[in-house]
A and B are shown apart, each in its own frame.
Chain A
Amino acid sequence: MDTFRTSVMVCGGTGCVAGGTLKIKKALDEELRRKGLEKEINVLLTGCLGFCAQGPVIAVHPDEIFYQRLTAEDIPVIVEDHFVKGRPVERLVCKEPAREQTVPLMKDIPFYNLQVLRALRNKGMIDAENIDEYIARDGYQAAAKALTEMTSAQIVDEMKRSGLRGRGGAGFPTGLKWEFCAKVKDDQKYILCNGDEGDPGAFMDRSIMEADPHVVLEGMLIGAKAIGASKGYIYVRAEYPLAVHRLQLAIDQAKEYGLLGENILGTGFNLDIEIYQGAGAFVCGEETALMRSLEGKRGMPRPRPPFPAVKGLWDKPTVLNNVETYANIPPIILNGADWYRSLGTEKSSGTKVFALSGAISNIGLIEVPMGIPLRKIIYEIGGGVPNKRKFKAVQLGGPSGGCIPEHLLDTPVTYEDIMQTGAIVGSGGMVVMNDLNCMVSVAKFFLEFTAEESCGKCPPCRIGTTVMLDILTNITEGRGKAGDIELLQDMAQDIISTSLCGLGQTAPNPVLTTIRYFRDEYESHINEGWCRTGVCKDLCTFYIDEEKCKACGACKRVCPQDAVSGEKKVPHRIDQARCIQCRSCYEVCKFDSVKIGPRSMRELLKGLPGQDALRDRQIRTLAGKEE
């Protein structure tokens, strides 16, 4: 690695970027190259330096000099005077304003400094209900460029080179999709936006529609120009009232400004966009089903080909992209494909938005460069698993995805690498699970969801998921039998290979990945009648290890059944006849003295110790204290 005599940190905070940081960095790189200093002086884009009001700012190390309110024109002077002659340019040096030292800076907090905002660049920065604020942050500049300076082929080419892949889950290259549709000749084409986000634990699209609705319109406008569409629909689920409200306001304002409607920006290009509210069926997120639903029919997928790019909505050529995909498009058009490719990996370029939820400290919405390891997302950005619990798995891709266990946490987040684990990147829901989660129950939860949401068209999906759900229910309720695991795996393969659409083809994934990584849990449910996490009420017994019990009374206070008895300094006991397996005592115990045993312990523990030596020995065996 080269050693540099000086490092220049160019502030990449949203405030500074809006003020023109990227131009400054470009000017700096060029000027240094011209002077032959690129091997001596290192230029880095960094997180917010905390002087947003003076932005754009750069910091020069080790000189510890801040330059403020820069423009690209200031760069040659700085390079000449400071970097060549060693004299800082006084008139541009920042007089550091007094700042409270108690509040940490974003560049020092992993939640912020590991994130890179592209699709979310206006997150929390603008008033979503005011088009002028969107325009102030470069809004509709990309659309203006696409409409006035670019041909359809140029837009498609830029998108193809950017490597942007559909952010809805399937990861199909956006540029390619647009190219297919652009090539078809027809008098009417449609551009659609998929806002039918339905995965449990996913809220990326909702947040974008609520916080930055115009970016969706602008992305669609650029797509419409690329394929030659004059009519667009945004399909949003009716469960997102705030998103619908703000999108409608955005459409109205854009129409008023002539940014939608006829003769947009005086270019002669026409596009009208309407919102269509979906009733919340999960299958309507599938593209052909979504189009049927838009036509006013029952939302059911149909076979492809013909692909929607040729025959889509009302049998006309149609392009459907996801909300987050559209949010990525304006910056690509403005900054170019190479800029977009500068982050991410070869095959998965750019950034991806994830919704973190579940057993994680920082629940929220994040955007990271593709290729970042899962471990970094969960432990650094997400802040790890709270309440001193242990990480168990992370569920990616909702009901179509899978659970990734601890030992695979170094997997980089790219479409290909995640696929290797049996999960999918999906739309971006990341549900973190701790050691209180029973993986069989998790699989059952997701299968319950898909079995209910199956549209019913294909028997393998409609009947298959129901039968698999029955087997899982049997396992969690103590009726599991030998061969169940193999039967589940067999059926899963059949459903995957014989279903028509993505819903059926991916529905068994949560079951398959939990069997793959947590097979021992399935086995202990079936063979030992034992759910070690205490989730499956029929397969566990809560008891207190009297040698460990400190008689603090915490479990006694929390028990809703008054099943815990014991005085101060006397080890507590759980009355098995009263216990309803709510697990409250287990979760509250600080001394690890509440234990979870197999179902068979429950009857044994109904008697008092010391009355029956054989029974006492059986209990000790089940508790693992005697072989």
Chain B
Amino acid sequence: MPRLTVDDLKKIKEQHREKLALKEGGSRVKVTVHMGTCGIAAGAKKVMDALLDEIGKAGAKDIIVATSGCAGLCSKEPMATVEVLNAAPVKYVYLNEEKMRKIFAEHVQKGQVVGECALVAGSETAY
């Protein structure tokens, strides 16, 4: 990768902002597994493996899987955020492999939020 100029920085920003945001014609769902120290200690790795396993079995190609850091509620880890195109992101708490598989089948595939594991919908306030 060549050394960047200020303009390159703006280009990367635009390109990746598009990539980060779901849009018509692109990926349909983004699943973020929160993997800070707290998440990993609580079993986020297994949750991630279960998710990848389900995606592989379903042969789904329109799902972005991402990792990220601590989501702020360490005592409710493992946590994951599921964002379906045209809907608010939903944060899931106290996950395990079984719950992740269920969330995949219902929320990721059919767009139905799994109420019993969901904590909240929306994104956090930033000023």
A123 at the interface (CB under 8 A from B): yes
> Could you tell me if A210 and B9 are in contact, using CB atoms closer than 8 angstroms?
no
Partner of B68 from the list A113, A141, A211, A342 (CB cut-off 8 Å) is: A211
A591 at the interface (CB under 8 A from B): no
- Taking each of B1, B16, B115, which has the highest tally of chain A beta carbons within 10 Å of its own beta carbon? B16
Chain A residue, CB-CB nearest to B74: A364
> Could you tell me if A104 and B126 are in contact, using CB atoms closer than 8 angstroms?
no
> Could you tell me if B72 and A18 are in contact, using CB atoms closer than 8 angstroms?
no
> Could you tell me if A210 and B69 are in contact, using CB atoms closer than 8 angstroms?
yes
A328 at the interface (CB under 8 A from B): no
- If A97-B86, A117-B124 touch, does A126 touch B68 (CB 8 Å cutoff)? yes
Q: Mark A133-153, 1 if CB is under 8 A from B, else 0.
A: 101111111001000100000
* Chain A residues within 8 Å of B85, by CB: 53
Q: Mark A89-133, 1 if CB is under 8 A from B, else 0.
A: 000000001111011111101011101111011011111110011
Partner of A14 from the list B40, B75, B125 (CB cut-off 8 Å) is: B125
Chain B residue, CB-CB nearest to A206: B37
Partner of A265 from the list B4, B68, B119 (CB cut-off 8 Å) is: B4
A362 at the interface (CB under 8 A from B): yes
Chain B residue, CB-CB nearest to A49: B122
B43 at the interface (CB under 8 A from A): no
A317 at the interface (CB under 8 A from B): no
Partner of B75 from the list A46, A203, A265, A363 (CB cut-off 8 Å) is: A363
- If A116-B127, A140-B9, A144-B9 touch, does A256 touch B89 (CB 8 Å cutoff)? no
CB distance from A228 to the nearest CB of B (A): 21
| Chain A interface, number of residues (Cβ within 8 angstroms) | 80
Q: Mark B57-77, 1 if CB is under 8 A from A, else 0.
A: 000000000111111111110
> Could you tell me if A45 and B1 are in contact, using CB atoms closer than 8 angstroms?
no
Q: Mark B3-44, 1 if CB is under 8 A from A, else 0.
A: 111100100110111011010000000001010110010000
Bound CA–CA A212/B70 (angstroms): 10
CB distance from A533 to the nearest CB of B (A): 23
> Could you tell me if A123 and B70 are in contact, using CB atoms closer than 8 angstroms?
yes
Chain B residue, CB-CB nearest to A104: B120
- If A124-B34, A124-B70 touch, does A135 touch B12 (CB 8 Å cutoff)? yes
> Could you tell me if B118 and A48 are in contact, using CB atoms closer than 8 angstroms?
no
- If A14-B123, A106-B123 touch, does A242 touch B70 (CB 8 Å cutoff)? no
> Could you tell me if A118 and B70 are in contact, using CB atoms closer than 8 angstroms?
no
- If A13-B126, A53-B83, A105-B122 touch, does A210 touch B37 (CB 8 Å cutoff)? yes
> Could you tell me if B122 and A112 are in contact, using CB atoms closer than 8 angstroms?
yes
Bound CA–CA A312/B1 (angstroms): 36
A60 at the interface (CB under 8 A from B): no
A195 at the interface (CB under 8 A from B): no
A22 at the interface (CB under 8 A from B): yes
> Could you tell me if A257 and B4 are in contact, using CB atoms closer than 8 angstroms?
yes
Bound CA–CA A548/B12 (angstroms): 70
Bound CA–CA A242/B112 (angstroms): 34
CB distance from A549 to the nearest CB of B (A): 34
Bound CA–CA A148/B5 (angstroms): 11
* Chain A residues within 8 Å of B115, by CB: 100, 102-103
CB distance from B51 to the nearest CB of A (A): 15
> Could you tell me if B4 and A13 are in contact, using CB atoms closer than 8 angstroms?
no
* Chain B residues within 8 Å of A52, by CB: 83, 88-89, 122-123
* Chain B residues within 8 Å of A321, by CB: none
Bound CA–CA A49/B90 (angstroms): 13
Bound CA–CA A371/B121 (angstroms): 28
> Could you tell me if B72 and A48 are in contact, using CB atoms closer than 8 angstroms?
no
Chain B residue, CB-CB nearest to A111: B73
CB distance from A410 to the nearest CB of B (A): 24
Partner of B70 from the list A51, A115, A211 (CB cut-off 8 Å) is: A211
Chain B residue, CB-CB nearest to A48: B122
* Chain B residues within 8 Å of A117, by CB: 124-127
Besides A51-B88, A136-B16, 5 new A-B residue pairs in contact (Cβ under 8 A), listed by A number: A50-B122, A100-B113, A109-B120, A124-B68, A258-B3
State the A residues within 8 Å of B (CB). Answer: 12-18, 22, 45-54, 97-100, 102-107, 109, 111-113, 115-118, 120-121, 123-129, 132-133, 135-141, 144, 148, 203, 206-207, 210-212, 240, 242, 256-259, 263, 265-266, 339, 342-343, 361-366
State the B residues within 8 Å of A (CB). Answer: 1-6, 9, 12-13, 15-17, 19-20, 22, 32, 34, 36-37, 40, 66-76, 79, 81, 83, 85-90, 112-113, 115, 118-127
* 4 nearest CB pairs, A to B: A211-B69, A258-B3, A363-B75, A48-B122
Q: List 26 A-B contacts (CB under 8 A).
A: A15-B123, A22-B127, A50-B122, A52-B123, A53-B83, A53-B85, A99-B88, A104-B121, A106-B120, A106-B125, A107-B125, A121-B126, A123-B72, A123-B124, A124-B34, A124-B69, A125-B68, A133-B20, A135-B12, A136-B12, A136-B20, A137-B20, A207-B69, A258-B4, A363-B74, A366-B72
